[in-house]
Structure 1
Amino acid sequence: MLIGSYSPSLVLISLCVAILASYTALDLTGRIATAKGRAVHFWMAGGALAMGIGIWSMHFIGMLAFTLPIQLGYDLPLTALSLVVAVMSSGFALWLVSQPSLPRRMLALGALIMGAGISCMHYIGMAAMQMQPGIDYDPLLFGASLLIAVGASVAALWIAFRLRRHTPYVRQIRGAAAIVMGIAIVGMHYTGMAAANFPDGSFCGALGSGLSGNGLDYLVLITTIAVLAVALLTSVLDARLESRTAELALSLTRANQELTQLALHDTLTGLPNRTLLADRIDQAISKVAEQGGYFALMFIDLDGFKPVNDAFGHHTGDQLLKEVALRLRGHLHSQDTLARIGGDEFVLLVELDEPDDAMGVAAKQVNLVSRSFRVAEQNLQISASLGIVVYPGNGNDQLELLRNADAAMYHAKSAGKNGYSFFDASMNSNARLQLQLLQDLRIALEQHQFRLYYQPKFDAINCRPIGAEALLRWEHPTMGLLLPDRFIVLAEKTGLIIAIGEWVLNEACRQMRIWIDQGYSDWRIAVNLSALQFCHIGLVDSVAAALQRHGLPANSLTLEITETTAMSDADASMEVLQRLSEMGVDLSIDDFGTGYSSLMYLKRLPANELKIDRGFVRDLEQDSDDAAIVSAIVALGQALGLRIVAEGVETNLQQDFLTRLGCDSLQGYLLGQPQPADRFLVELEKNRVVEGT
């Protein structure tokens, strides 16, 4: 019996190759599991080739590690056949573990087929030596090698199936599993080798024509490592590419979600915006058409929000809107929709069991808004006006429903605010009138339809005229002379107030120049500034241009701004007022006592005059509180060195009381009504003659 021996280094190398081949197989199963389309077939074919070469290489290096007292060679066709069997067995294994499930019966059958394939590879490789006489195998060890092959196949298939998904620490687990699988494969090989007995006098029939040589082991090793390295590197790079692609896809999904959120929701409150609301209304209409039922659309406008926003600043106003949205949304059902469509306007879409249920919902919303809000350490009080439409009945589509709800809301406002109003067809006529008025307003400047009327101001002591306040009127072609309360709100909403305000300023300065040329050089002309006009970046330049255009001394112009406007952004107001003051323009705080005063800022404002609101003057004779307020305002103004003007004087008792208090000047219907420029001096002279007689 010929006694064989093993090269320890090649045995160790064969073990390393088996472990590397096992790890490559496990990694490739992960690629196959995540691949899609034609890439699955690519990874299956490439994986079968790499895994098959790895297993076969381990077997062949193991055979090269074995030496006998005689020289050995290996038949090329049989050696190639063993490689083909290894590749086919590997391909079958990869196909099996790529299936959606691996039941025990399939696992057992697959292990038998794969074990048979590995055993065939081994014993065909042994047959490639073409020993004469043939190799004598020990039945016990031969059977053990077959069992080890099947057992190793069971373990390999089960491990590969379990580790094919990317989970935390999967590479570390695959490494440990590869060691176990490599040892099992090597164990099968060397058990099969141990089963082989070579009788004395045996010789290798493949020595002359087969594979042989001292460098064969290194050639196989290098080739195998290259193949496995390429397979592993490709797998790793593809995995990284797939991971990066998945990250990019996730980022794109999130970006699309954010864009959808921005496109369909209000950025301040997070509520649905007008676009999403329109879609929800269309869905509600379709649902009613299919299933019956009702829904109500409520247009909600906040009363008193603008004064709060002007007084405390936009940041506080934004916080208040958030609190309103949070409170209203917190009392809705999941199927209802609350949307913010702009500014302080909200729309509520509510499903109803009966049309009359809308009244209870509306009353609840009004009550929720009327409760005090705690914002920026301030207790803020506002209210809401609601316009209600019910579908079916008050419109056919979402545009008509919204338009009718808006009309109903304006009706609620005109009825006193802090309430709700159901839509009625007659309300549309008022809405159309407002729309027509807005269209007419756009062309009023071009067609010179605006006029200035002038109300005289008088010295309180001697009742001598000391100037006038310019008051805007609109000479509408069909509706006649309109007062500002009919159109100023529309002008502010559209931004037309800027252009109208510049016209008023220029026209008042032009008229004042005429009066100065007529000898009234000690007069002052007063012009009111709207909140939007005061905040406009070009205000100071517009004032300077108007004064220069008409050669008007700056101190003959008084600009009146409301207390609320001056305090809305005190620091910014201070800068604008300071520039106007340095120019020499007089500054008057209008409607004093009605806004949110801050004496800290008031004493810093470069104002020359306080103007007492007509609301306090009107009830002086009946309301002791108003008398006390007026007395306090006069005392405050005198302490700050400001002129005091009282407007709205309509009775002799009011005139006497205000004069005794120390007001510097007065204006009102008792002393002189607003007149156009061509009648102003005539009426002053007429009144003077009447008083003289």
Structure 2
Amino acid sequence: MLDSLSDGFMSIDKSWRFTYLNNTAERYLRQERENLLGRDIWQCYPDLVDSGYYRTYQQTAATGLPGRHTDFYAPLSTWFEARSFHHDDGITVLFRDVTREHEHAAQLEFEASHDFLTGLANRRKCMQTLSCAVAEAASSGFTNGVSLAVLYIDLDHLKEVNDAFGHAVGDELLRAFATRLLAILEPAFFAARVGGDEFVLLLRNTTESAAEAFAHSVLNVLALPFPVYGRSVSLSASVGIALLREESESAEALLSHADTAMYAAKSSGGLQVRTYDTALDRGMRDRVALRNDLREAFAANQFELHFQPQIALADASLIGAEALLRWRHPDRGLLTPYAFLDLLLDSPYEGALVEWLVNQVCLHIVAWRQRGVLVPRISLNLSARQLLGLGLTNRILEIARAHDISPTMLDVEVTEDSLVSDIEKASSVLAALKQAGISTSLDDFGAGYSSLSYLVRLPIDTLKIDKSFVRALVDSEKATAVLRGIVGLARSLGMKTIAEGVESERQVEELKDAGCDSIQGYLISRPLTSEAFAEFMLRM
């Protein structure tokens, strides 16, 4: 009967010698019973001594009470569940192999605490680990500036990658980044993926300078392109750092501070590292309030366009104007895009912004026409997602046609960094715009990637020279040389040039000598309201 049991069964006398084993016990212990009967269990299996099994059996023998213990027995690479019972001659043990159950439970626990895509810990596991680390750091105190640091990493422009190449490429990119991240982590560090493109690193026993240095090493890891499905994809990131400075600080507060610092880095243009301080909290609260105000901005018609004239250097004639977005906030006054554009582009209103911009430009052109004022061309700025959105050219043409506006009166300005996520699609969209009669300009040339290969491949009509070059013209011979090179390059490619940020007559003379076609800046005029711009045109 005992040999037919599916559980292992063994009897041990008061001297801890085997007196009986059934067939299942032989199989589990990988020994024939003849080799064990009459022998001391602790001598046969010395790894049991001081184990949980040892203490359970001893307690049953001493108290007469049943015992139960489950543990991993390394010599047999097996998880056993053992139940011990007292009898007059010693104890009896029923035990069974629970390895599969344990591994299944462990797998379920792993899946519940780890990200399925990257294999890193998930947000739940991150908070558990961070809470334990904060408690340990608080109990041990802080010496010589050594502390606990949390790095909050947000990958920049991952959505553009997903939109351009598909989510399979984006997922593979996340896996590749996680692999690189694990390769540079020290054993005591911890990594988690807590959101779609957000990662958290926990650095134990570190200093502020060491944490910042490690954050920059993360940016360096991202600097190398990722080969994904036959493509070479580049990424950047924004990193926020928070250090545990007080014993009373909680894990939730520490993570929140790192998140706040990350958003500050992202708001500064990305590819940056920021360390949390209390001033960031005030700024973050201010941005949250501003984000909430966006909900009413469109409905209340608080957005408006101002126009900055563009003048030809050859004859001082008006060649056009750049339409600049402004927000007339009811409490904060007139806000420039630097205060809110990143919030707007990351809001549900981004999709509607293009139609609003084109419609408003057309409405202003119609109003000026009714006053007998004709403007040659109005430029409007588009982001990467807006440029690469579906049906951009057709939608612009539809709006212009509805207002009886010629497409030749419109110009689309894009920046270099808005093109690099998908150069092929960007080239196709710009070509479609050009074919429809809408001119295109490359804004802030020289401030970003400045890759000559883009100029060769993109159907651009005008290069807008970044104001940093214009500002340096008076004092820097190198800046003048670079300017002449840009103008010559543009001319050889059949492009016009406009210099931005012109503020002095000396700059105008340098630009004329370099052969620049047109200028824009405070020397000519600050951005003007629609009415003021109409008056400006009447005076031309």
TM-score (normalised: structure 2): 0.71
Q: 2:357 aligns with which of 497, 501, 504?
A: 504
Q: Which deviations, in whole Å up to 9, do the C-alpha atoms of 1:317-356 show, x marking residues without a partner? A: 988876765555445443431224347643222333xxxx
Q: Which of residues 485, 490, 502 in structure 1 aligns to 2:338?
A: 485
2:408 to 536, 544, 555: 555
Shift of 1:505: 1.8
Q: Compute the displacement of 1:458 (Å).
A: 1.1
Quick check: 1:368 aligned with 2:221?
no
User: Take 1:411 and 1:565, find their aligned partners in 2: how far apart are those partners?
Assistant: 21
Amino acid of the structure 1 residue aligned with 2:127: A
Structure 1's 438 and 604: CA in aligned 2 closer, same or farther, altered over 3 A?
same
Aligned position for 2:78: none
Give the Å deviation of 1:656. 2.1
SS in 2 for 1:568: helix
> Are 1:299 and 2:151 an aligned pair?
yes
Q: Is the 8 A contact 1:336 1:348 kept in 2?
A: yes
Per the alignment, residue 476 of structure 1 pairs with 329
- 1:533 to 2:386 alignment: yes
Distance, in Å, in 2 between the alignment partners of 1:106 and 1:472 is: 88
Distance in 2, matches of 1:621 and 1:322, equals: 49
The two structures, once aligned, show a CA RMSD in angstroms of: 4.2
5+ unaligned residues in a row in structure 2: which ranges? 9-19, 27-31, 38-97
SS of 1:569 mapped into structure 2: helix
Matches within 5 A, 1:30-109: 98-101=23-26, 103-104=33-34
Residues 534 and 422 of structure 1: CA distance in aligned 2, closer, same or farther (over 3 Å): closer
Q: 123, 132, 143: which one pairs with 1:274?
A: 123
Instruction: Give the Cα–Cα distance (whole angstroms) in 1 for the partners of residues 530 and 225 of structure 2.
Output: 48
CA positional deviation for 1:539: 2.1
Residue 589, structure 1, aligned to residue 426, structure 2:
no
Q: Provide closer, same or farther for how the CA distance between residues 394 and 409 of structure 1 changes in structure 2, counting only shifts above 3 A.
A: farther
Q: CA deviation at 1:409?
A: 4.4
Residues 1:439 and 2:292 are matched in the alignment: yes
Q: How does 1:638-653 map to 2 (within 5 A)?
A: 638-653=491-506
TM-superposed CA distance for 1:412, in Å, is 6.6
- 2:133 is matched by which residue type in structure 1? A
Q: Name the aligned partner's letter for residue 494 of structure 1.
A: S
Map Cα deviations across residues 357-406 of structure 1 (whole Å, 9 max, x no partner): 432531431452465744359998978644213165473342x3222222
Please give the per-residue CA displacement for 1:39-93, whole angstroms capped at 9, x wherever unaligned: xxxxxxxxxxxxxxxxxxxxxxxxxxxxxxxxxxxxxxxxxxxxxxxxxxxxxxx
2:190–2:203 contact (8 Å) kept in structure 1: yes
Instruction: Indicate how the Cα distance of structure 1 residues 493 and 96 shifts in structure 2: closer, same or farther if over 3 A, else same.
Output: same
Contact 2:328 2:334 in 1 (8 A): yes
- Alignment match, 1:667: 520
Provide the secondary structure at the position in 1 that maps to 2:419: helix
Shift of 1:641: 1.5
SS at match of 1:470: strand
User: Displacement of 1:633 after TM fit?
Assistant: 1.6
The corresponding residue for 2:242 is 388
Write the mapping of 1:200-215 to structure 2, written as runs, cut at 5 A: none
Match of 2:256 among 387, 403, 409: 403
Amino acid at match of 1:279: Q
Aligned to 2:299, what secondary structure does the other structure show? Answer: coil
Aligned identity (percent) is 32
Q: Is the 8 A contact 2:309 2:321 kept in 1?
A: yes
Q: Which residue of 2 aligns with 1:229?
A: none
Would the aligned equivalents of 1:621 and 1:653 in 2 still touch at CA under 8 Å? yes
The code of the aligned residue for 2:208 comes to M
Instruction: Indicate the residue corresponding to 1:55 in structure 2.
Output: none
CA displacement, residues 165-201 of structure 1 (integer Å, 9 cap, x when unaligned): xxxxxxxxxxxxxxxxxxxxxxxxxxxxxxxxxxxxx
SS in 2 for 1:603: helix
Rounded Cα–Cα distance in structure 2 between residues aligned with 1:306 and 1:605: 21
Give TM-score, length-normalised by structure 1.
0.56
Which residue does the alignment assign to 1:341?
A: 194
Quick one: which amino acid aligns to residue 639 of structure 1?
A: S
Q: Do 2:151 and 2:202's aligned partners in 1 also have CA atoms closer than 8 Å?
A: no
Q: 1:276 to 1:550 in 2, by over 3 A?
A: farther
Could you list the runs of 5+ residues in structure 1 that have no partner in the other structure? 1-28, 37-94, 108-245, 689-693
Q: CA shift at 1:430, angstroms? A: 1.6
Distance 1:648 1:286 in 2: 54
1:645-692: per-residue Cα shift (whole Å, max 9, x none)?
A: 221111112112222333222111101110110111224556x5xxxx
Match of 2:311 in 1: 458
Q: Of the candidates 347, 350, 353, which is equivalent to residue 494 of structure 1?
A: 347
Task: Tell me if structure 1 keeps the 8 A contact 2:502–2:521.
Answer: yes
**1:448 corresponds to which letter in structure 2?**
N
Number of aligned residues? 450
Instruction: Name 2:397's counterpart in structure 1.
Output: 544
Question: Cα offset for 1:276?
Answer: 2.7
Q: 1:426 to 1:599 in 2, by over 3 A?
A: closer
Cα distance in 2, alignment partners of residues 524 and 589 from structure 1:
16
Displacement of 1:454 in angstroms is: 0.4
* Superposed displacement of residue 564, structure 1: 2.5
- Name the structure where helix makes up a greater proportion of residues: 1
Give CA deviations for 1:190-227 in whole Å, capped at 9, x if unaligned: xxxxxxxxxxxxxxxxxxxxxxxxxxxxxxxxxxxxxx
